[in-house]
Amino acid sequence: MPRASRRRRRPPGRGFGQLFLIGCAATVTIVLVAGSMLAVHTQSSHYRSAATSGYSVMAQKVATASTHTGAALATALAAAPDLVNQAFPFSARGVLEQNLDAAVRASAAQAAQADDLAPPSAEDGMSTRFASVMDARSAATANIRATIDQLLGLSPLPIASAPAGTVRSSGPTTLISAGQAATNLTKAGADLASADAAYRSMMADARAAHLPFRLPPSAWVIGPVGTAPLGPSGLAATASALASSSALVPFHHLVITTTGLVPTAVPTGAPGVTVTSCVAPVSVSATGTPSIVPPTQTLAVDLTVTNCGTVDEVAVPVVVNVVPADLPGSPVLPNSGSGGRVRATVTMLPGASAAPTLSAVPVTPGHRYRVTASVGVPIGQADATGSTQEYLVQVAA
């Protein structure tokens, strides 16, 4: 055999030994990697289980609070048609709006809390499913309030902690019929029933997967859906019940609760100040004895208007009219000091007061005037007592 060929020949069996060693090393590597992955999976499983258990502990409080909010809303709506009017803010409309606002704020807070519980998230998407239920309940509650507000002409009440200058809506721009309200409330009830079903499905899946995700039962549509107060049919019936409640009909009542002459009347004449209230208000009429003010070239009236009704009053006119009222034989009154008429507008929430800025009018010392302050009576205000205050005023010479 040629020498070159003999130098290239390999010892028999040497290649198989190398392959054997490589195979052994690969097997060991696979075993080590598999063991590591198993260990990581085991540790990860413990972590996920702990995260799920911890999440459910926090979610329990949110679920319980949500159940209470639903029960309170159902009770408030059932009682609303039978509410009676009391002194503001305990009018029937005020009480109903307070209850609606409370339910909206509570359900919105619960939805926000559910969103903030993760991370860490519960297993199998339970965190997302729980947050979706709370979001659905919050949205349905907001729709219920919006529908009832449009049905009755209500507005959400101001919030004490709101930033200064926050302006509350002056009420829905478009009112809706009881039929439209029933349609809207039917949808809200269906949404609440769907949210309850989603909650039950979530809990059933958690039990089937043996997850440590334990929450109390939580439902807003209690009992058969067809008869539940917050179910589609129950809420639809609420629309007609609210619309037919006499205590929930808008009630207008504006009163000029304080008036005072500027300059201030002296003590020797008739009073130049009037103070009254929403309860048994009075209107002052000019009498034979005038209120006497010091010598002045201008006369003004400071006054306060109070909304004693149950609805917002927007851009209501307030007028002060000063006309000559001299006795026969009095000196001729110059045109430059013969009084005048000034006007302003006020916008008020129920129970609120406003003090409009009214300009002074020109007067002449030594003459007498009839001063009338009045606030525009809204359509529907049956009792106009307190909407005007009148004085006979003598300007000292």
Has residue 286 got a pLDDT over 60?
yes
What residues pair up with 368 in beta bridges, in sequence order? 394
Tokens representing 22?
């490589």
Contact partners, residue 390, CB within 8 Å, separation at least 6: 283, 284, 285, 286, 370, 371, 372, 373
At 162 the pLDDT is 47
Range 254-395: architecture per CATH: Sandwich (2.60)
Q: Measuring CA to CA, which residue among 359, 356, 315, 355 is closest to residue 341?
A: 359
Q: Which of 8-22, 35-49, 72-86, 128-142 has the highest mean pLDDT?
A: 128-142
Has residue 163 got a pLDDT over 50?
no
Lowest mean pLDDT among 79-93, 205-219, 300-314, 346-360: 79-93
Question: How does the average pLDDT of the chain come out, rounded?
Answer: 87
Lowest mean pLDDT among 151-165, 271-285, 341-355: 151-165
Taking residues 273-289, report their average pLDDT: 92
Lowest mean pLDDT among 8-12, 176-180, 279-283, 352-356: 8-12
Residues of the chain with pLDDT > 70: what percent?
A: 84
Query: Can the peptide bond before residue 263 be classed as cis, meaning omega within 30 degrees of 0?
Result: yes
At 50 the pLDDT is 85
Query: Confidence class of residue 315 from pLDDT cuts 50, 70 and 90?
Result: very high
Q: At what angle do helices 126-152 and 92-116 cross, to 10 degrees?
A: 160
In the chain, what are the domain boundaries? 40-158+166-248, 254-395
Output the CA angle 69-75-76, nearest 5 degrees.
Answer: 90
At 200 the pLDDT is 97
Q: Do strands 388-395 and 291-293 pair parallel, antiparallel, or not at all (unpaired)?
A: parallel
| Distance, CA of 224 to CA of 234 (rounded, Å) | 11
Q: Measuring CA to CA, which residue among 231, 226, 150, 242 is closest to residue 187?
A: 231
Q: What is the pTM of this model?
A: 0.65
- For residue 105, count CB atoms less than 10 angstroms from its CB and return exposed for 0-12, middle for 13-18, buried for 19 or more: middle
CB distance 296 to 363 below 8 Å = yes
